[in-house]
Amino acid sequence: MGNLLVQTTWFIPFYGLIGAMLTLPWAMRLIRRTGPRPAAYINLLMSAIAFLHGSLVFILTWGKAPQQMVWHWLNVADLDLTLAMEISPVSLGALALVTSVSLVTLIYGLGYMEKDWSLARFFGLMGFFEAALSGIALSDSLLLSYGLLELLTLSTYLLVGFWYAQPLVVTAARDAFLTKRVGDIILLMGVVALSSYGVGLTFTEIGEWTETANLAPWSATLLGLALIAGPVGKCAQFPLNLWLDEAMEAPSPASLMRNSIVVTSGAYVLIKLHPIFELSPIVKEVLMAIGLVTAIGASFVAIAQIDLKRALSHSTSAYLGLVFVAVGLGRLDIALLLLLIHAIAKTLMFMSVGSIILTTNDQNITQMGGLWSKMPVTTISYIVGASGLVVLLPLGNFWVMGQWIQSFNSLPQWLLAFVLIINALSAINLTRVFRLVFLGEPQPKTRRAPEVNWPMAFPMVAVIIIALLAPLIPQRWQLWFAGTGSLATTAEVLQQPEMILLVLSGIVGVILGGTIALPRTWVRPVRSSSRFLQDFLAYDLYLDRLYRWSVVLMVELASKFSAWLDRYIIDGAVNLVGFGTLFSGQSLKYSASGQSQFYLLTILIGGALLLMLMINWSF
């Protein structure tokens, strides 16, 4: 039985796909009498089976050597395109994260979307979402991962545009789709370029090829830059970071998945492509530069947001910036742990946010307050999730940063200052949101806010327990502290000056976020400089306007020029030929008199003219 479960690991992504297909009769309203809830139950069942199957395989294969499952999809001449899956602790751990978060999200969504008329369609799309994410977790093939990332782009478009009757939702879905397509197209160029070197497209073969690859520096640089474009788009990193903000128009359960798992999938592919980045120092520097710019910029932008979901979505981009820096520095273990801790914490926080939005029917944090006594489970969920993202003892990020601190002596000097700034800014933002939403006097929209029903409260409590146990994961990851011979204790960690500074930065951020005046009226500053700074941060550094007046304008002008060229030059030439044919035909019809001597005279004159031209041409 155990061998059968391991051998059928490849089928786990199909559970979500089967659930999505089985919901079609309800989604298409072919079945109406039962209502849409049976479709939700089917997807819940399939997600539970996927989680159970993946967990059993994880237990059965723990401590064993990684296994590969390879299917030769296309074999023509010297082209061999294979689809491969890997069964290893890392891939199965990623799969367990995807299936567990999907399961609790579907339970949560059952309560959140209870009164929505398109409940069946939503659960079908979530099953499709889960299938693509599970496939990426198991994939050991760059070609397969690329195809699954494309499916994620499609599912993002469908879920962001779920409430398609609202014009803003349609615009957000279009922008999210097109922004991610930019990264996907450049990634496809990298895949094609990599295959042209004759290397197999499995991550294992890519790793072996990089050990002996002899590429020119510019070739290695261009190849690496093309391959990081896809993860940059999926992880909402600069300059493709605006889509995650607009994707918050989707229902909260979909936003939960997007901020916790979808961005993680892009970084997961980035980590697997790391051997290629080692071929070019420029690529590694670009990775770190992207992470630095995104983390700092998104942290400041998040502080200026008054929309609850957008404030947290920008913090997601900032946190993923740390992951990009870790990958650029070659610390893949730290990158994986950061992704794990972030996914758990953001799942909990977006559950809390969804509960608030459902209860108050509002997302403006300046119109909230006093919810801590009315929604205790929601409040605890936010506190535990936010604490897990800040370097505070004894939660998850404290231990992950403790592992990273050990290599700070051999890393650039600016790294410590960078991590201190991001940690402090993150603490300020999360504390600011907590003050405005949960503390203070109840506002009109929060005065009668009750706690959510059990389908939403139960998964929050379950994830709270998981988040409190999450610190055990980095401690048991076999990441040993240098010179200790065993896992470091709390006292040993706090003896490091860098770690003390990190903890202090989190405490300072919490204090600043708790003491800075936050008027709920949010009167605009009188001074033009202060007003510009507020708008500059609140409107995402005006990036959307910058793109509109640069990239979008160039595309628009090129489109207009192409339309003019097609209409007046190409069509004009074709129309001229047609007009000439018509004119000559209309003219020649008058020469058809029916008299043979006239035809003979015409032939003689034509022949004489042709002969004269030939004689003149020869001389």
Confidence of residue 481 (pLDDT cuts 50, 70, 90): very low
Reply yes or no: is the peptide bond before residue 394 cis, omega within 30 of 0. yes
Q: Which two structure tokens, joined as six digits, stand for 271?
A: 């980590």
SS3 of 199, please?
A: coil
pLDDT at 141 over 80: yes
Gap between the Cα atoms of 269 and 142, Å rounded? 8
Contact (Cβ atoms closer than 8 angstroms) between residue 115 and residue 234:
no
- Per-residue model confidence (pLDDT) at position 480: 37
Amino acid of residue 271: I
Contact (Cβ atoms closer than 8 angstroms) between residue 23 and residue 123:
yes
Reported as half-sphere exposure (CB side, CA atoms, 13 A), residue 539 has a value of: 11
Residue appearing with tokens 């304008």: 553
pLDDT at 452 over 70: yes
Q: Which residues contact 286 (CB under 8 A, 6 or more apart)?
A: 224, 225, 228, 328
Gap between the Cα atoms of 202 and 233, Å rounded? 22
H or E element that contains 73: strand 67-76
The pLDDT tens digits for 189-241 are: 999 888 888 777 888 888 888 888 788 889 889 999 999 998 998 888 888 88
The pLDDT tens digits for 55-69 are: 999 988 887 888 888
Q: What is the DSSP letter of 44?
A: H
Confidence of residue 292 (pLDDT cuts 50, 70, 90): very high
- Per-residue model confidence (pLDDT) at position 428: 92
Gap between the Cα atoms of 204 and 189, Å rounded? 20
Other Cβ atoms less than 10 A from the Cβ of 508: the count is: 15
- Mean pLDDT in residue range 256-279: 90
Q: Which two structure tokens, joined as six digits, stand for 437?
A: 């939403």
Residue appearing with tokens 């505070």: 392
- Per-residue model confidence (pLDDT) at position 108: 93
Contact (Cβ atoms closer than 8 angstroms) between residue 289 and residue 221:
no
- Per-residue model confidence (pLDDT) at position 484: 39
Phi and psi torsions of 425, nearest 5°:
-65, -40
pLDDT at 483 over 50: no
pLDDT at 135 over 60: yes
Residue appearing with tokens 């395989």: 57
- Mean pLDDT in residue range 342-353: 92
Confidence of residue 529 (pLDDT cuts 50, 70, 90): low
Q: Which two structure tokens, joined as six digits, stand for 199?
A: 């290397």
- Per-residue model confidence (pLDDT) at position 478: 44
Gap between the Cα atoms of 141 and 178, Å rounded? 25
pTM here? 0.86
SS3 of 141, please?
A: strand
How far are the Cα atoms of 214, 296, 327, 396 from residue 424, in angstroms, in the given order? 43, 11, 22, 16
Other Cβ atoms less than 10 A from the Cβ of 560: the count is: 10
Reported as half-sphere exposure (CB side, CA atoms, 13 A), residue 103 has a value of: 21
Secondary structure of 377-446 in the HEC alphabet?
HHHHHHHHHHHHHCCCCCCHHHHHHHHHHCCHHHCCCHHHHHHHHHHHHHHHHHHHHHHHHHCCCCCCCC
pLDDT at 430 over 80: yes
- Per-residue model confidence (pLDDT) at position 78: 66
- Per-residue model confidence (pLDDT) at position 520: 62
Gap between the Cα atoms of 417 and 225, Å rounded? 27
Gap between the Cα atoms of 540 and 314, Å rounded? 9
Residue 458 burial class via C-beta count within 10 angstroms: exposed 0-12, middle 13-18, buried 19 and up: middle
Arithmetic mean of pLDDT over the chain: 84
Percent of the chain with pLDDT over 90: 29
- Per-residue model confidence (pLDDT) at position 530: 65
CA angle 502-433-537, nearest 5°? 85
Confidence of residue 479 (pLDDT cuts 50, 70, 90): very low
Gap between the Cα atoms of 285 and 325, Å rounded? 9
Secondary structure of 340-356 in the HEC alphabet?
HHHHHHHHHHHHHHHHH
Gap between the Cα atoms of 324 and 322, Å rounded? 5
- Mean pLDDT in residue range 562-572: 86
Strand partners, 202: 141
Hey, CA dihedral for 581, 586, 587, 592, is it positive or negative?
positive
Q: What is the DSSP string of 441-503?
A: SPPTTTTTPPPPPHHHHHHHHHHHHHHHHTTHHHHTSS-PPTTTSSPPPHHHHHTSHHHHHHH
Spatial CA neighbour of 426 closest among 474, 391, 394, 380: 391
Query: 408-417 in b/e burial notation, b at 16+ Cβ within 10 A?
Result: beeeeeebbe
Residue appearing with tokens 């997007």: 258
Residue 354 burial class via C-beta count within 10 angstroms: exposed 0-12, middle 13-18, buried 19 and up: buried
Instruction: Among 67-81, 514-528, 560-574, name the one with the lowest average pLDDT.
Output: 514-528
Confidence of residue 588 (pLDDT cuts 50, 70, 90): low
For the CA atoms of 345, 351, 353, 359, the dihedral, rounded to the nearest 10 degrees, stands at -160
Q: Which two structure tokens, joined as six digits, stand for 12?
A: 């786990």
Taking each helix axis from N to C end, the angle separating 414-438 and 376-389, rounded to the nearest 10 degrees, works out to: 170
